[in-house]
C-alpha cells in the first residue's frame, strides 16, 4: 500500500471562504446560519439555512465561467483553486485526476428554471441549462482549466459523497492510475422544492426566529438539521511524489471505510450496524488501535434518530477509550456532499493545531447520546495524532475517513 498524503486544502463554507478563515471561525464558535437571503423564503415553513456569506462569484471567477455554472460548481472550483495554489503542484496531465462528490448536483437550477418556464409566455430554456445541472461538469470545468487528463469520476452517495470522493481518489492512487488526485465535494440545494420536501419529512429545524442556535447536534431539544452549502477540496498524492517535488505535507490519509446499511432509504439502522462496520473498516485499514484516535468529527446533523444512533455506534466501537467528538454542523449546517471534505479538513487542522472545534448550541446532552465529551460550545486543547471524519447518508450510505499527523 502506498502512503497517501495531503498537500493542499481549500474550503468555501457558511462561516468563511478559505481554510484559514473557516478554521478561525469554526473554532471560535461562530454560527453561519441565518434567514435565507438568496430568495424570498417567507412563504416556507423553514426559512433558515447556512448560506455562503458575502459571496460575489465575480471576485473569484471569470464572467464566462459564472454564466455557465451552478453555484455548487462555483464552490467546487474556488475550493479546488485554493487547494491547488496551496499545494504548489505542477500538474502532470495524465498522472493527475479528479473525483467530484455531490449529493444533488444542480437541483436548485432545475427547480428555478422549471418555475420560470412554467410562468413564462415564451417557452425558452437557455443552452447552458444541461451542463449547469450535471454533477460531473463541476470536475470538467476544473480539468479543462488546469489540463487534468487522468481519472475522473463523480460520486453521488447522498451525504457521504465527499468522504467517498476521498476514498475513491485513494483507490485510484493505490491502483496506480494516478500519482495525484484532487478530491472535491460541493453542494448548493437551496430552493423551495428541496425545502418543502425535507420539511414535510420533518427532517429540518423550524427555529426560524433564532437561526444561529437552530442547529443543535446531540442536544435534547434538537428538532432537525439545517441545510448548508459550500465546497471543499483536497490534494492527495503519494508520499514519494510529494517528497520528490519538495511539497509541504499537511497530513496523511490513514484509512477509509465505506459500507451500506441495507436497511432503509432515509432512516439509519437502529443498531448502527453499517456505521459500526464502516468505522471498524477504516480503523483496520489504518492499522491502528481505536484508542489511538483522539478526535471524531461526527456526522451529527441534529436529527433525533441520526444523532442517537451515531452516538451509540461510537460507544460500541471505542468502548472505554472514547475520543473527543464534535459536530461542526451546529455552525455550518449540513453541507451534504461538501461536508465530507470540509470536515476532513477540520480533522487535519485539529491535528495540526491541537484545537478541538466545539459543538455549538449544545446546552443539554440527550440522555441517549450521553457518555461522550461533545466539546460543548467552547473549543478544547488536545494533542492528537489521529482523527476520524464520519459522513452518513440517505440510502444507508456510510463513509469514514481517518487522517493522521505526518
Residues recognised as catalytic: 159, 299, 334
DSSP string, 2-16: --EEEEEEEEEETTE
What is the chain's Cα-based Rg?
Answer: 20
Tell me the three-class secondary structure of 197-251, residue by residue: HHHHCCCECCCCCCHHHCCCCCECCCCCECEECEEEEEEEEEHHHHHHCCCCCCE
Which residue, among 154, 151, 149, 7, has the nearest Cα to 72 in the 3D structure?
154
Which residue, among 178, 140, 136, has the nearest Cα to 161 in the 3D structure?
136
Cell readout for 300 is: 451529527
Distance CA 240, CA 2 (A): 9
For the packed helices 161-174 and 339-353, what is the interaxial angle rounded to 10 degrees? 70
Task: Kindly compute the dihedral angle of the four CA atoms of residues 207, 208, 214, 215, in this order, to the nearest 10 degrees.
Answer: 100
| Grid-cell match 520528490, residue found | 244
| Grid-cell match 492512487, residue found | 173
Distance CA 177, CA 150 (A): 8
Which residue, among 162, 152, 139, 190, has the nearest Cα to 337 in the 3D structure?
162
Distance CA 332, CA 365 (A): 20
For the chain, the straight-line distance linking the first and the last C-alpha, in angstroms and rounded, comes to 16
Cell readout for 234 is: 483536497
Distance CA 375, CA 371 (A): 12
User: 297 with 317: CB under 8 angstroms?
Assistant: no
Cell readout for 59 is: 471576485
Task: Catalogue the E-assigned strands of 19-151.
Answer: 34-35, 48-49, 96-101
Amino acid at each position: 500500500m502506498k502512503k497517501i498524503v495531503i498537500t493542499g486544502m481549500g474550503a468555501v463554507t457558511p462561516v468563511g471562504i478559505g481554510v484559514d478563515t473557516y478554521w478561525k471561525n469554526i473554532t471560535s464558535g461562530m454560527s453561519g446560519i441565518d434567514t435565507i437571503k438568496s430568495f424570498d423564503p417567507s412563504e416556507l415553513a423553514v426559512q433558515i439555512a447556512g448560506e455562503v456569506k458575502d459571496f460575489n462569484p465575480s471576485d473569484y471567477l471569470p464572467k464566462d465561467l459564472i454564466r455557465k455554472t451552478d453555484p455548487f460548481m462555483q464552490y467546487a472550483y474556488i475550493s479546488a483553486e485554493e487547494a491547488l495554489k496551496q499545494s504548489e503542484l505542477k500538474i502532470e496531465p495524465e498522472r493527475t485526476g479528479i473525483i467530484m462528490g455531490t449529493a444533488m448536483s444542480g437541483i436548485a437550477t432545475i427547480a428555478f428554471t422549471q418555475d420560470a418556464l412554467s410562468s413564462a409566455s415564451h417557452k425558452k430554456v437557455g443552452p447552458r441549462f444541461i451542463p449547469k445541472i450535471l454533477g460531473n461538469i463541476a470536475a470538467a470545468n476544473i480539468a479543462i482549466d488546469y489540463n487534468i487528463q487522468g481519472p475522473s469520476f463523480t460520486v453521488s452517495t447522498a451525504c457521504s459523497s465527499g468522504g467517498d470522493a476521498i476514498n475513491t481518489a485513494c483507490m485510484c492512487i493505490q491502483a496506480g492510475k494516478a500519482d495525484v488526485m484532487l478530491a472535491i465535494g460541493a453542494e448548493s440545494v437551496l430552493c423551495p422544492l428541496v425545502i418543502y420536501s425535507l420539511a414535510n419529512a420533518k427532517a429540518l429545524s423550524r427555529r426560524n426566529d433564532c437561526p444561529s442556535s437552530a442547529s443543535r447536534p446531540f442536544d435534547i431539544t434538537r428538532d432537525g438539521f439545517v441545510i448548508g452549502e459550500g465546497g471543499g477540496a483536497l490534494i492527495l498524492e503519494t508520499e514519494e511524489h510529494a517528497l520528490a517535488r519538495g511539497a509541504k505535507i499537511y497530513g496523511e490519509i490513514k484509512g477509509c471505510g465505506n459500507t451500506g446499511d441495507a436497511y432503509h432509504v432515509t432512516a439509519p439502522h437502529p443498531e448502527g450496524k453499517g456505521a459500526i462496520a464502516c468505522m471498524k473498516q477504516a480503523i483496520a485499514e489504518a492499522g491502528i488501535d481505536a484508542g489511538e484516535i483522539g478526535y471524531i468529527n461526527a456526522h451529527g446533523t441534529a436529527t433525533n434518530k441520526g444523532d442517537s444512533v451515531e452516538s451509540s455506534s461510537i460507544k460500541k466501537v471505542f468502548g472505554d477509550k472514547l475520543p473527543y467528538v464534535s459536530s461542526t454542523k451546529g455552525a455550518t449546517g449540513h453541507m451534504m456532499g461538501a461536508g465530507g471534505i470540509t470536515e476532513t479538513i477540520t480533522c487535519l487542522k485539529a491535528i495540526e493545531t491541537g484545537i478541538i472545534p466545539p459543538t455549538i448550541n449544545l446546552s443539554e446532552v440527550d440522555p441517549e447520546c450521553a457518555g461522550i465529551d461533545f466539546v460543548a460550545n467552547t473549543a478544547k486543547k488536545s494533542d492528537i495524532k489521529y482523527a476520524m471524519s464520519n459522513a452518513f447518508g440517505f440510502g444507508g450510505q456510510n463513509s469514514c475517513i481517518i487522517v493522521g499527523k505526518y
